[in-house]
Structure 1
Amino acid sequence: MLEYLEAQTFEKCLTELLERVPDDVDKREGSVIYDALAPTALKLAETYWDMAVLYRRTFAATADGIDLEKRVNEHGVERKKAGKAIRRAVFTDRDGQPLNVALNSLYRLDELLYRVIEAIAPGEFKVEAQTAGAVGNRDYGELLPVEANNKLGKAILADVLVPGEDEESDESLYQKYLEHIRDKAFGGNRADYRKKVRAIQGVGGVRLRRAPYGGGTVKVIIIDSDFNAPTSEFIAYVQEIIDPVEFKGDGYGTAPIGHVVTVEGVGVVDITIECEIILNGVTIGQIEAQANEILEEYFAELRANWYKDLDINVRITHIESRLLEIEGLEDIASTLLNNIASNISLMEEIPELASVVLKEVGL
């Protein structure tokens, strides 16, 4: 149907209208009948185009934006909203001693404001980004007070405790909708756990393990919304939501009563890549930064697919094919991953690029 609607162009509509006119009538461009039918053909083509747009907006597979939201909302699937990052900030006075600052006071780093929301320890506080999204996770450094504080010596923005995340993309929302249709979430089944855990701000993916510590136990392994290993503070935050430590198994979290849940973060394996390369017209120094950037992107793609509950394979062929896109890199003689000339397969872990070592060899 969609193909038919999109095929109804102005030229096609006009041709079909002119075919209905007897051949003994002048139908050439500029004739009376041609000029009379052309506006009608244009309007028909516009109508067909509007119908095609409406058709695409009707179905989840082709809808986007608010239309996709409305479609999936009919099945109880909601778009995950943007969330604000919660960070750890360290405050010291002019003598370098821990300084307690006022709750709700504001501090700035570049364009972002952070509000003090909770004390952690002397001189250490939780601060919340006032702009929602992953942008609140990225910068580190010295904060400046919005209002003058004569006692303040230095304020440092440190760890990400609860990652901020951008509003869920259309692609992610549609995949969540498909999972909801195919795997009905109910009463603590796998689909129910996945739905509830992934709905938590800062969670980018989840894997589940049945009875790792005996009957009635569940292991929940998470990755954060930036597809990195979560901090211990964030793991504790998720644990409190799913199954609070002090009331394990009592059903005070989102986990059903009787389920003793342990939340863990995904493991990390550092990988060093060593390549013997053949260059043409460039030096290692000229391509080193580009090689690192390309391989960081590859590793980020692998980490983003961790949630699919499949093994992650760091493949030498994929590494080499990407590096060979670099202008001036003629060929690759050999590649080692952690000193071994073979792929690395990860089950519960994600890969982290430790370093890239490029060595030039002759032809």
Structure 2
Amino acid sequence: MLEYLEAQTFEKCLAELLERVPDDVDKREGSIIYDALAPTAIKLAETYWDMAILYRRTFAATADGIDLEKRVNESGVERKQAGKAIRRALFTDRSGQPLLVNMNNLYRLDDLVYRVTEYIAPGEYKVEAQSAGAIGNRDYGDLLPLEADNRLGKAVLSDVIVPGEDEETDEALYQRYLEHIREPPFGGNRADYRQRVRAIQGVGGVRLRRAPQGGGTVKVIIIDSDFNAPTSAFVDYVQSIIDPIDQPGDGLGTAPIGHTVTVEGVGTIEVTVECDLILNGVTLGQIEPQITENLYAYFAELRTNWHKDLDINVRITHIESRILEIEGVEDIASTLLNGLPNNINLIEEIPLISSIDMKEVSG
């Protein structure tokens, strides 16, 4: 249907209208009947185009933006909105002792402002980014007060407690909608667990393990929304939402009563990449930044796919193909991962690049 609507151009509409006119009438361009039908053909073509747009907006597979939201909302799926990062901040006075700060005080790191929201321990507080999105997760370092405080010696922005998230993309929303339709969540089944856990701000993906400690137990393994291993503070936060650790199995979280749930963060494996390269017309220093960029992008893609519950394979052939894309790399003599000429297979872990060691060799 969509192809038919899009095919109804001005020329096609005009030709079909002129076919309905008897052949003994002058139908050449500039004739009376041609000039009379041309405006109608233009309007018909515009109408068909509008119908094609409406057709796209009607179905989830081709809709986007607010139209996609309305379609998936009919099935109870809502777009995840951007969320603000919650971080740990450390405050000391001029003598280096823990400092008591006031709630709602504002501090700045570069272009981001953080607000003090909760006391954790002496000199240790939760602060919330005032700008929503993953940008609140990235920077670490010294905070500057927005209002002068003569007592303050140093304020340091530390680890992420709850990662900030960007608004869910159309593609991610549509994929989650398909999962909801094809695997209906109900009463603590796998789909129900996945939906509830992934709805938590900062969770980028989840894997589930049945009865790790006998009947009635469930293991939930999470990756954060930046597709990195979550901090222990964030794991504790998710645990408190799903099944509070002080009252396990009582149904006080989102897990059904009788389910004792253990939340863990995905493990990590550091990978050292070593390559001997044969170059043509470039120096190693010229291409090293692009090699680093390409390999980090490859490892990021692997981490992004972790939630699909498939083994992750760090493949030498894929690494070499990313390097061979770079102009000036003629061939690769050898590639080692962690000192061995073998792929690395991961089940519950995600790969991180430890180091990249490139050497030029003669061909």
TM-score normalised by structure 2 residue count: 0.98
1:53 pairs with 2:57? no
CA distance in structure 1 between the aligned counterparts of 2:97 and 2:318, rounded to whole angstroms? 51
Q: Secondary structure at the match of 1:247?
A: coil
1:209 pairs with 2:209? yes
Which residue number corresponds to residue 235 of structure 1? 235
CA distance in structure 1 between the aligned counterparts of 2:18 and 2:84, rounded to whole angstroms? 61
Shift of 1:104: 0.7
Which residue number corresponds to residue 295 of structure 1? 295
CA distance in structure 2 between the aligned counterparts of 1:158 and 1:177, rounded to whole angstroms? 36
Match runs of 1:1-363 below 5 Å: 1-363=1-363
CA distance in structure 2 between the aligned counterparts of 1:28 and 1:335, rounded to whole angstroms? 70
Specify every segment of 5 or more residues in structure 2 that has no aligned partner in the other structure, as ranges. none
Shift of 1:46: 0.5
CA distance in structure 1 between the aligned counterparts of 2:32 and 2:320, rounded to whole angstroms? 66
Q: Secondary structure at the match of 1:303?
A: helix
Count of residue pairs the alignment pairs up:
363
When structure 1 is superposed on structure 2, of 11-20 and 92-101 the one drifting more is 92-101
Q: Secondary structure at the match of 1:245?
A: coil
CA distance in structure 1 between the aligned counterparts of 2:121 and 2:25, rounded to whole angstroms? 92
Q: Secondary structure at the match of 1:113?
A: strand
Q: Secondary structure at the match of 2:352?
A: strand
Q: Secondary structure at the match of 1:246?
A: coil
CA deviation profile, 1:269-326 (whole Å, cap 9, x unmatched): 0001101100112111111111111111001011000000001111111111111111
Shift of 1:26: 2.4
Shift of 1:339: 0.9
CA distance in structure 2 between the aligned counterparts of 1:40 and 1:61, rounded to whole angstroms? 32
CA distance in structure 2 between the aligned counterparts of 1:204 and 1:355, rounded to whole angstroms? 25
Shift of 1:257: 0.9
Specify every segment of 5 or more residues in structure 1 that has no aligned partner in the other structure, as ranges. none
CA deviation profile, 1:213-239 (whole Å, cap 9, x unmatched): 111110000000000000000000000
CA distance in structure 2 between the aligned counterparts of 1:88 and 1:70, rounded to whole angstroms? 37
Q: Secondary structure at the match of 1:362?
A: coil
CA distance in structure 1 between the aligned counterparts of 2:62 and 2:117, rounded to whole angstroms? 42
CA distance in structure 1 between the aligned counterparts of 2:357 and 2:27, rounded to whole angstroms? 72
Identity %: 79
When structure 1 is superposed on structure 2, of 297-306 and 114-123 the one drifting more is 114-123
CA distance in structure 1 between the aligned counterparts of 2:130 and 2:314, rounded to whole angstroms? 38
Q: Secondary structure at the match of 1:118?
A: strand
Whichever residue aligns with residue 247 of structure 1, its letter is Q
Whichever residue aligns with residue 63 of structure 1, its letter is A
CA distance in structure 2 between the aligned counterparts of 1:36 and 1:153, rounded to whole angstroms? 83
Shift of 1:33: 1.8
Shift of 1:194: 0.4
Shift of 1:199: 0.4
CA distance in structure 1 between the aligned counterparts of 2:185 and 2:308, rounded to whole angstroms? 17
Q: Secondary structure at the match of 1:79?
A: coil
CA distance in structure 1 between the aligned counterparts of 2:141 and 2:286, rounded to whole angstroms? 30
CA deviation profile, 1:175-225 (whole Å, cap 9, x unmatched): 111111111111111011001000000000000000111111100000000
Shift of 1:101: 1.0
Q: Secondary structure at the match of 2:246?
A: helix
Q: Secondary structure at the match of 1:201?
A: coil
Shift of 1:98: 2.0
Whichever residue aligns with residue 25 of structure 1, its letter is V
Whichever residue aligns with residue 350 of structure 2, its letter is I
CA distance in structure 2 between the aligned counterparts of 1:218 and 1:267, rounded to whole angstroms? 18
CA distance in structure 2 between the aligned counterparts of 1:261 and 1:201, rounded to whole angstroms? 19
CA distance in structure 2 between the aligned counterparts of 1:80 and 1:61, rounded to whole angstroms? 18
CA deviation profile, 1:60-114 (whole Å, cap 9, x unmatched): 1111111111111111111111111001111122233221211111111222111
Whichever residue aligns with residue 298 of structure 1, its letter is Y
Shift of 1:28: 2.2
Q: Which runs of 4+ in 1 moved over 4 A?
A: none
